[in-house]
Structure 1
Amino acid sequence: MDPDELLELEHRGWQALSDGTGAAFYGRLMTDDGVMVLAHGQVLDRQAVIASLDDAPPWRSYEIDEERVIPLGTSAAALVYRAAARRDTGSPVFRAWMSSTYVRRDGEWALASYTQTPIPDRPTPAGIRDAEM
């Protein structure tokens, strides 16, 4: 397994969300039984993801850092990273930890599960690692 391959898929996903092709991209990438758990707690199956992305406003900019790939056997892996994204200049920055679980299907990576955990915009208590970007 090449960790860079999964990170490249994530970047391609963010690019699709930025250029208006997110529905088509995730329609191809997600497993039939795949789910996304969004920052506000909504759980979407593959069809709901595709439908929601048809009308979603594009991201104007994004950053990914602190990437980690966790192998889950020979045909699955989880990619965890921190992201910051903005829809428009002057709009609030969306910050979250992301976790994408991929499985190999017919030699290709497919997205089985994706979860967003928002990073709050508040001071971090002493002794806890700062999550600000």
Structure 2
Amino acid sequence: MIDLEEQGWQALSTDVEASKTFYNSVLRDDAIMLFPGGMIIEGKEKILQSLAAQPWKSFRIEEPRVISLSESAEVLVYRVTAQREDSKPYVALINSTYEISGGMWKLVLHQQTPV
């Protein structure tokens, strides 16, 4: 689970196409992402369309914890410090909920809370 989330941050640190390729494979069709400022993005297609931001220059995942909800669902909770070129560091508490679907982990819900 932690490796999958790390792969997502790595894709977001590369370029838009790498991000779209990764998230196309991991998002559930009805996934939801909740971002600071009240931004809600619902559905795989809308999330993929939103992946046009400047790539992260660096990121660090700290204190990851996995909470098992069932044999096929888990929540990953962690703190991230990430930075884009010429920007202040972004520090947030993150939770990502995954479910096994078709034998693969799929991202269902992702939420970021800045600290």
TM-score range, shorter chain: over 0.9
Greater strand content: 2
TM-score (norm 1): 0.81
Residue equivalent to 1:104 = 100
Residue equivalent to 1:57 = 54
Sequence identity, in percent?
A: 40
Mapping of 1:39-58 within 5 angstroms?
A: 39-45=36-42, 46-53=44-51, 55-58=52-55
Structure ID, larger Rg: 1
Residue equivalent to 1:26 = 23
Gaps spanning 5+ residues in structure 2: where?
none
**Aligned-pair CA distance for 1:118:** 0.7
Residue equivalent to 1:113 = 109
1:8 maps to amino acid: D
Number of residues paired by the alignment?
A: 112
**Aligned-pair CA distance for 1:9:** 0.3
TM-score (norm 2): 0.93
**Aligned-pair CA distance for 1:23:** 1.7
Deviations 1:14-60 (CA, angstroms, capped at 9, x unpaired): 0000111112211211101111001222111221210011x210000
Gaps spanning 5+ residues in structure 1: where?
1-5, 120-133
Residue equivalent to 2:4 = 9
CA RMSD across the alignment: 0.9
Show structure 1 runs of 4+ deviating over 3 A.
none
